Amino acid sequence: MDTKAGPPEMLKPLRRAAVTPMWPCSMLPRRLWDREAGTLQVLGALAMLWLGSMALTYLLWQVRRPPTWGQVQPKDMPRSWGHGSSPALEPLEAEVGKQRDSCQLVLVESIPQDLPFAAGSLSAQPLGQAWLQLLDTAQESVHVASYYWSLTGPDIGVNDSSSQLGEALLQKLQQLLGRNISLAVATSSPTLARKSTDLQVLAARGAQVRRVPMGRLTRGVLHSKFWVVDGRHIYMGSANMDWRSLTQVKELGAVIYNCSHLAQDLEKTFQTYWVLGVPKAVLPKTWPQNFSSHINRFQPFQGLFDGVPTTAYFSASPPALCPQGRTPDLEALLVVMGSAQEFIYASVMEYFPTTRFSHPRRYWPVLDNALRAAAFSKGVRVRLLVSCGLNTDPTMFPYLRSLQALSNPAANVSVDVKVFIVPVGNHSNIPFSRVNHSKFMVTEKAAYIGNSQASFICILAAACTLGDSGATVWDRARWQGTGGCWQASGHG
List active site positions. Answer: 223, 225, 230, 437
Asked whether the CA dihedral 304, 305, 310, 312 is positive or negative, the reply is negative
The secondary structure of the chain, three-state, reads: CCHHHCCHHHHHHHHHHCCCCCCCHHHCCHHHHHHHHHHHHHHHHHHHHHHHHHHHHHHHHHHHCCCCCCCCCHHHCCCCCCCCCCHHHCCCCCCCCECCCCEEEEEEEECCCCCCCCCCCCCCEEHHHHHHHHHHHCCCEEEEEECCEECCHHHHCCCCHHHHHHHHHHHHHHHHHHCCCEEEEEEECCCCCCCCCHHHHHHHCCCEEEEECHHHHHCCCECCCEEEECCCEEEEECCCEECHHHHCEEEEEEEEECCHHHHHHHHHHHHHHHHCCCCCCCCCCCCCHHHCCCCCCCCCEEEEECCEEEEEEEEEECHHHCCCCCEEHHHHHHHHHHHCCCEEEEEECCCCCECCCCCCCCECCHHHHHHHHHHHHHCCEEEEEEEECCCCCHHHHHHHHHHHCCCEHHHCECEEEEEEECCCCCCCCCCCCCEECCCEEEECCEEEEECCCCCCCCCEEEEEEEEECCCHHHHHHHHHHHCHHHHHCCEC
The span from the CA of 35 to the CA of 32, in Å, is 5
Residue 465 and residue 336 in contact, taking contact as beta carbons nearer than 8 Å? yes
Residue 451 and residue 237 in contact, taking contact as beta carbons nearer than 8 Å? yes
The β-bridge partners of 461 are 317
- Radius of gyration of the chain from its Cα atoms, rounded to whole angstroms: 28
The span from the CA of 48 to the CA of 59, in Å, is 16
CB within 8 Å of 394: residues ≥ 6 apart: none
Residue of 247, 453, 486 lying closest to 356 (CA atoms): 453
